[in-house]
Amino acid sequence: MREAHPRERVVGVDFYVSDADGIGGHLREEPEDFVVRERERMVPEPVDSDPGSYPHVLLRATLRGWDTNDFAGRLSDDLGISRERVSWAGTKDKHAVTTQLFTVRDVDPERIPEVRNADVEVLGRVGRALTFGDLAGNEFEIRVRDAAGDPAPITADLRAFAGDDGEGLDESADAPAEVAVPNYFGHQRFGSRRPVTHEVGLHVLRGDWRGAVLAYVGNPYETEPEGSQAARNVVEREADAADTDWSAALDAMPGRLRYERSMLHRLAEGADWRETLEAVPSNLQRLFVNAAQSYAFNRILSERLRRGLPFHRPVEGDVCCFAERDVKFPKPDTDRVQRATEGRVDVLARHCERGRAFVTAPLVGTDTEFADGEPGEIEREVFAELDVGRADFALPGEFESTGTRRAIALTTDLAVAEREGDPVFSFALPSGSYATTLLREYLKGSPERH
């Protein structure tokens, strides 16, 4: 089994499924190299519907070079409203062309502004804000620049991981093939350039609010710009000083690091550590604990790989979820759970082979039940090593989590074409899964190139 890049192991991703050499290359030389379009679920009422019954304006925005959070901030600033009145179903990366939905509460549709590098269309009105559950999935078309190898051997390895014996497969170059990889959380879940959100979350879960703030505001990474590193070093110095001067740290922090500056403002005003961490938007507060859950999930999958346990079918002790009903892009229905006991493991294996069920692992929270057998042993060992338990997720405000379950295998139909000598990968994924989790198997390099 091939060991992952050292920077991937920082976020719990320890191995590649494919032993074949990577094709090299890199992503996102131009935003058009990484095209993402949401599969939409929300259907609006006409734009002239009663705003009392339908207070949210539904927008479709095609963004070039915009991070979702940054676009939401620009939209709220231009409208002169709180950022909390802007909602979306899925966060997208800045270095891409993305098409996604937004809702804006209690605004006149005619006031929706024009925004640079954004094509914004008013679709109508809806009765509630968008949430993560409104995103069915995403369609991708991704070009890899300067690739130097053949993707076919990697595709063959990923087909085998999906349980495909290759019989009856259309071998033409552009025919889609069913492939699978471990359903890792991608590097961007933790911070692409500076993967620290899980560190913040682990501090929160251990009740170390000071450590959480300093992990976010201090804690310099060599992959950051030198100015950012220097500012974080000032934070570290002041945190250790006998007579702390948070104003000096605030003066050193670049304006572009606005969340860090918001925290330092609170520290300079005398706020306690928890109040300081709550200076960031509510969705980012949730992300800290979610990232800690994601890191533990990645660790569980890496250990399962190391032990040679399958991903596309259960072993005794696994917890399976049946697929959601009546959806185009089924995901695990966490209300329909069944344990793979000795008498049920073969039956559940057949359900998984037919796409009717998924083997899952926990995103641990207060209500989580661990698996049995060897899968449960892995889960308990990971959380013991992290010094975190289920009760630690009973936290104030946005930091609380009851937990859920997530499929351990990510399966899709993949087509590989060619554009000006570069491979172009086309596929679709359910919400919450990462395109780079699939593409890393092909590039086999630093996540900075993803």
**Is 93 an active-site residue?**
yes
| Residue type at position 414 | L
pTM of the model: 0.88
Q: CA-CA distance, 13 to 2, in Å (whole number)?
A: 12
Structure tokens given for 52: 């009392």
Q: Which residues contact residue 37 at a Cβ distance below 8 angstroms, ignoring those fewer than 6 apart?
A: 98, 99, 100, 138, 139
Average model confidence (pLDDT) for the chain? 93
**276, 213 contact by CB (below 8 A):** yes
The tens digit of pLDDT for each residue in 104-125 reads 999 999 999 999 999 999 999 9
pLDDT at 170: 52
Query: Which of the following is catalytic: 93, 134, 164, 318?
Result: 93
Instruction: For 323-381, write each residue's pLDDT tens digit.
Output: 988 777 788 999 999 999 999 999 999 999 999 999 999 999 999 999 999 999 999 99
What residue has token string 């009145």?
A: 85
Is residue 306 within 8 A of residue 14, CB to CB? The reply is yes
Strand, coil or helix: 26: strand
- 319-323 β-sheet, strand order: 332-339, 319-323, 357-364, 403-407
Q: In terms of Cα–Cα distance, which of 430, 432, 386, 391 is closest to 412? A: 430
Place of tokens 């997720």: 393
CA proximity to 85, closest of 67, 66, 101, 103:
103
**Rounded Cα gap, residues 71 and 68, in angstroms:** 5
Q: Tell me: the pLDDT tens digits for 176-221?
A: 899 999 999 998 899 878 999 999 999 999 999 999 999 999 999 9
List, in order of start, the domains of the chain with CATH numbers.
Answer: 2-27+144-183+410-449 (no CATH), 33-137 (3.30.70.3160), 197-280 (1.10.1510.30), 283-407 (3.30.2350.20)
Two tokens, residue 201: 């979350």
